[in-house]
Structure 1
C-alpha cells in the first residue's frame, strides 16, 4: 500500500490531504472521504487503507480548512457551509491531486457535503456513499448536540480534541455546536441538492444513531435522482465504520463492484 501526504494550496489557506493507493491496477475511480464535524484525516484511523484494500481503489482524505493539519481559520461558518465545501474547496482538492472521476464518501456532516459534491459535479461523480448523513435538522439531532455540549464541558474533553486539531480545538468545537444549534441553521436541508444527484447512492445509517433517525436515509432515498440503496445497520450508532468496520467495508466494496458492473 502506497501512502502519500499532500499539501493542497487554496486561496483561503493550505489543506492537508493523504492518499492510499493499493498495489495493482485500479478497480475504479478514487474514493474521496469527507470527514465529520470533529473529524480530520487522522480520525479516520485505519479505515482508509482498509477501504483501499477492500475496493482496489485509491482512497483520498483531506482535512477541511480549520481542521487537523490544514491551515487555521477564525471566521464563523456560514449557514451554507455544507454546500460551500463542494463549490469552493472540493474541486481544488480534485485538481491538485489529479482526480477526474470520483466516488464521494462522507460521514455525518461530511455525508451532506458528499451529497453536494455529487450534485455540483454530477458529470464526474460515479457513485455516492453517505454514512450517518443528516438530511435536515431533526429534533433528535438537536438533542444529541445538546448532550454533546454538556459532555464537552467535562474536564479533559477539549484537550482530547486538541490531540488532533491543536490550537484549533475550541474553534472546531464551536464550528460544530455553535453552527448546528444556531437558529439561522434550523431550516437547513439537502432538499435542493439531492434531486441533482444522478449517480448510484448507498446510504448507510445506524439504527441507534444518536444524531439522526432513519428519516435521514429515507429522505436521501426519496429525493435523490439516482438509484439509491438504503442500509440500516442494527445495534449501530453514529460511527458505523468504527463500530462495524468489517461489515461497512464489505457492504461498500460489494455495492461499488455491482454499481461498476451495471454502468
Structure 2
C-alpha cells in the first residue's frame, strides 16, 4: 500500500508527514494510531499494524515522525533537545490529528513502541480526554544505564558496519533518523530525563508490555507506569526482546485485542 502525505505547521515551518491508513472503510470501528520507535518509520512496522487491525476489527493510522521515513528530514543543523519527546507529544501529534480531522467523536487508541510509547504516555498525560486508551511496548519513563550502553553500541555499529545502508531501506535520509535519535540519547543532560511525575494525570486505560529480554530497558519501566496509573495492566513476555510486536506478535495481538474490546467506549 502506498503512503499518503499530509503537511503540518511545526514551529513556523511546513513539515510533510508520511501516513498510511489501514481499513479506512471501517468507519465506525475503533481507530488505532501507531507510534514508532526511535529508529522506526511507516515501512519498518511492516505488516504488523494490518494484522492487529484485522484481528481487532479496527481502522489504523501509521505515520513517520518528522525526521523519519519519508517525512521531512531534520534540517542540517537541527539538534534535538532533552524535551524532544514532549514536543512530539504536545506539538506534532495534536497538529497531525488536526490535519487529519482525528479527535472529537473519533478518539483514537495509541499503540506506541519504545520512544513512541513514551510519546503516547506524554500525550495522554496532557490530553487524557482525547484518547480512548494506550498500548505501550517497551516504553521509557526514565533513562537506565543499559539503555545508554546499547545506544552507544548502536553508534559504533552505524559508524563501522552497513547499518546506514540497512536503515536506508526505511528512511529517505538515514543520517537524519539515526543521528537525531542517537545524539540526544547520548547527550549527558538527557541522563536526567524522567517523566514519572507526568504519568499521574493519565486517566485512560493503559496496557504496558515488555519483554523479559529487553536490552534497552528493565521491567522497572512498565512497573513504574503501573505504580502511577490507576488500573494499568502489565504484560511481561518471556523470550522476548525490545520489540514484542516482532518477537511475539501473536501474544501482543491477542492481548491488545482483548484490552481494546473490554475498554472500548461505544459512541453515543
Q: Give the shorter-chain TM-score range.
A: over 0.9
1:108, 1:133 within 8 Å by CA — same for their partners in 2? yes
1:104, 1:117 within 8 Å by CA — same for their partners in 2? no
Note the C-alpha offset of 1:214. Answer: 0.3
Counterpart CA distance in 2 for 1:124 and 1:176 is 27
Alignment partner of 2:102: what SS?
Answer: coil
Number of residue pairs matched by the alignment: 258
Alignment partner of 1:170: what SS?
Answer: helix
1:26, 1:56 within 8 Å by CA — same for their partners in 2? no
Q: Tell me which residue corresponds to 1:214.
A: 219
Q: Tell me which residue corresponds to 1:248.
A: 252
1:32, 1:60 within 8 Å by CA — same for their partners in 2? yes
Counterpart CA distance in 2 for 1:134 and 1:73 is 23
Counterpart CA distance in 1 for 2:265 and 2:91 is 32
TM-aligned CA distance change 1:125 to 1:171, over 3 Å: same
Counterpart CA distance in 1 for 2:2 and 2:261 is 25
The runs of 4+ residues in structure 1 deviating greater than 4 Å are: 22-25
Q: Tell me which residue corresponds to 2:41.
A: 40
1:83 alignment partner, one of 76, 83, 86:
86
What's the RMSD between the two structures over aligned residues?
1.8
Q: Tell me which residue corresponds to 1:188.
A: 193
Counterpart CA distance in 2 for 1:231 and 1:256 is 14
2:8, 2:99 within 8 Å by CA — same for their partners in 1? no
Give a deviation string over 1:148-202, Cα, whole Å, max 9, x none: 2222233311111112112x21121111211101112111112232111110100
Counterpart CA distance in 1 for 2:243 and 2:226 is 20
Moved more, 250-259 or 183-192: 183-192
Counterpart CA distance in 2 for 1:197 and 1:21 is 29
Give a deviation string over 1:86-106, Cα, whole Å, max 9, x none: 111101221222211111111
Q: Tell me which residue corresponds to 1:107.
A: 113
Counterpart CA distance in 2 for 1:83 and 1:195 is 16
Alignment partner of 2:240: what SS?
Answer: coil
- Structure 1 residue runs of 5 or longer lacking an equivalent are none
Alignment partner of 1:230: what SS?
Answer: strand
1:22, 1:52 within 8 Å by CA — same for their partners in 2? no
Structure 1 position 138 matched with structure 2 position 149: no
Structure 1 position 237 matched with structure 2 position 238: no
1:86, 1:114 within 8 Å by CA — same for their partners in 2? yes
Q: Tell me which residue corresponds to 2:72.
A: 71
Counterpart CA distance in 1 for 2:199 and 2:35 is 17
Q: Tell me which residue corresponds to 1:58.
A: 59
- Structure 2 residue runs of 5 or longer lacking an equivalent are none
TM-aligned CA distance change 1:216 to 1:262, over 3 Å: farther
TM-score by length of structure 1 reads 0.93
1:22, 1:56 within 8 Å by CA — same for their partners in 2? no
